[in-house]
């Protein structure tokens, strides 16, 4: 479909919007509501009326100043990578989208520092993926960053060539996606988590659940030659243990940059490439993930929703940990 109707013209767009912003790096109490300018969507953009925004760990890191250098920060800053909503206006060159369409997207917030914690946002139309009718917009908002990170980690691990995969933090937003998608691909997953999470992990299809800490002996008992690949989402000592359990010539993938230490136990002589993922928007992958979520094949559990005005409370909830689902903001 094309935007040939007058309701799809940029004139339908708002010129300002309410957003949860920060004016400096620091604690969650710095998040506050402000009216910020919102330009008419350019020829290649759509304006999205936001229905839901997932809170991610990276949002907390950004807010506290651990993701963007102070010298590069531009305030007021809008946080957020995930969004789902309804198309409210479209640029004149946009095809395939019209007002009222349901869409989801991932933005790379550190790039322009205009994230998704807002009532309306402008996005390049090429970033959007259609949300199936069977999937609520609240659940759709939980899919983009976590789902794309999980998918791209598995791609780097060459999951099609892997029989055994060790995963640290398999019940976090990304780890759960890695676990579910790997099991669906026929891979034996060794999940590293707390002992009380064993039943939950087995219910998700993990072949073996081992307790966090020094779990080397537990894994070697079942896989004496090591595992084909490891995906580390934790860092520190856990990363080193995971790497050491990969067989010679296997694969090691991480999304935690500080773990890349060429002088440490990541021994290139064993023929294990150490790969760091920087997640990238991929609308085709996201479309597939949204379809899997709609079909119930990808977990999209929501623990609690908060109005946008309570973004600070949502951040505190996220920081408390031990989540059984995602935290979602509703504008």
* Size of the chain, expressed as the number of residues it contains: 331
pLDDT at 11 over 70: no
User: Is residue 317's pLDDT more than 80?
Assistant: yes
pLDDT of residue 62: 97
Find the mean pLDDT for residues 71-76: 96
User: What is the domain partition of the chain in residue ranges?
Assistant: 6-142+300-330, 146-276
Percent of the chain with pLDDT over 70: 92
Cα 240 to Cα 168, 266, 288, 326, distances in angstroms = 11, 7, 33, 28
pLDDT of amino acid 3: 41
Checking phi first, is residue 7 left (phi over 0); if not, alpha (psi -120 to 50) or beta? alpha
User: Which residue from 263, 262, 265, 264 is spatially nearest to 244, judged by alpha carbons?
Assistant: 265
Residue 119 has pLDDT above 70, yes or no: yes
**pLDDT grade for 258, boundaries at 50, 70 and 90:** low
The whole-number pLDDT of residue 274 equals 86
Q: Which two tokens stand for residue 32?
A: 């506050």
8 pLDDT tier (thresholds 50, 70, 90): low
Nearest one of 190, 153, 151 to 170, comparing CA atoms: 190
Which residues, 6 or more positions from 307, have their beta carbon under 8 angstroms from its beta carbon? 329, 330, 331
- The CATH number of 146-276, from 3.40.50.720, 1.10.3720.10, 3.30.230.10, 3.40.30.10, is 3.40.50.720
Q: How far is CA 103 from CA 50, 124, 163, 316, in A?
A: 10, 12, 35, 28
Place of tokens 């957003």: 19
**Does the pLDDT value for residue 16 go beyond 60?**
yes
Arithmetic mean of pLDDT over the chain? 92
**pLDDT given for residue 20 in this prediction:** 98
Q: Residue 61 pLDDT > 60, yes or no? A: yes
Going by pLDDT thresholds of 50, 70 and 90, the confidence category of residue 264 is low
| Residue pair 88/48 in contact by the 8 Å Cβ criterion | yes
Could you give the maximum distance between any two Cα atoms of the chain, in Å? 67
For the segment 145-174, what is each residue's pLDDT rounded down to a tens digit? 999 999 999 999 999 999 999 999 999 999
pLDDT at 263: 47
CA distances from 215 to 19, 48, 180, 254, 267 (A): 45, 46, 22, 19, 20
Query: Given a cut of 50, is residue 7 above it in pLDDT?
Result: no
Q: Torsion-angle region of residue 88: left (phi > 0), alpha (psi -120 to 50) or beta?
A: alpha
Architecture per CATH, 6-142+300-330: Alpha-Beta Complex (3.90)
Q: How confident is the model at residue 1 (pLDDT cuts 50, 70, 90)?
A: very low
């Amino acid at each position: 479909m094309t935007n040939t109707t007058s309701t799809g013209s940029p004139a339908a767009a708002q010129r300002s919007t309410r957003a949860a912003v920060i004016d400096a790096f620091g604690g969650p109490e710095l998040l506050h509501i402000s009216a910020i300018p919102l330009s008419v969507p350019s020829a290649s953009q759509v304006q999205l009326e936001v229905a839901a925004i997932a809170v991610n760990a990276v949002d907390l890191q950004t807010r506290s100043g651990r993701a963007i250098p102070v010298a590069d920060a531009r305030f007021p800053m809008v946080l957020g990578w995930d969004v789902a909503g309804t198309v409210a206006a479209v640029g004149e060159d946009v095809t395939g989208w019209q007002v009222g369409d349901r869409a989801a997207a991932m933005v790379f917030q550190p790039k322009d520092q205009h994230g998704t914690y807002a009532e309306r946002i402008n996005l390049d139309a090429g970033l959007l993926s259609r949300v199936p009718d069977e999937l609520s917009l609240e659940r759709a908002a939980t899919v983009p960053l976590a789902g794309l990170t999980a998918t791209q980690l598995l791609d780097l691990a060459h999951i099609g060539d892997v029989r055994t995969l060790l995963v640290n933090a398999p019940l976090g937003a990304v780890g759960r996606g890695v676990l579910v998608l790997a099991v669906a691909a026929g891979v034996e997953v060794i999940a590293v988590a707390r002992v009380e999470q064993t039943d939950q992990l087995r219910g998700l299809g993990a072949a073996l659940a081992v307790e966090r800490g020094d779990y080397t002996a537990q894994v070697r008992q079942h896989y004496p030659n090591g595992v084909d690949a490891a995906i580390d989402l934790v860092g520190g000592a856990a990363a080193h243990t995971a790497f050491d359990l990969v067989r010679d010539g296997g694969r090691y993938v991480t999304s935690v940059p500080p773990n890349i230490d060429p002088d440490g136990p990541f021994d290139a002589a064993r023929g294990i490439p150490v790969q760091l993922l920087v997640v990238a928007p991929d609308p085709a992958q996201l479309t597939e993930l949204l379809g899997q979520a709609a079909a119930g094949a990808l977990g999209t559990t929501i623990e609690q929703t908060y109005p946008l005005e309570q973004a600070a409370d949502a951040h505190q909830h996220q920081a408390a940990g031990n989540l059984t689902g995602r935290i979602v903001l509703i504008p």
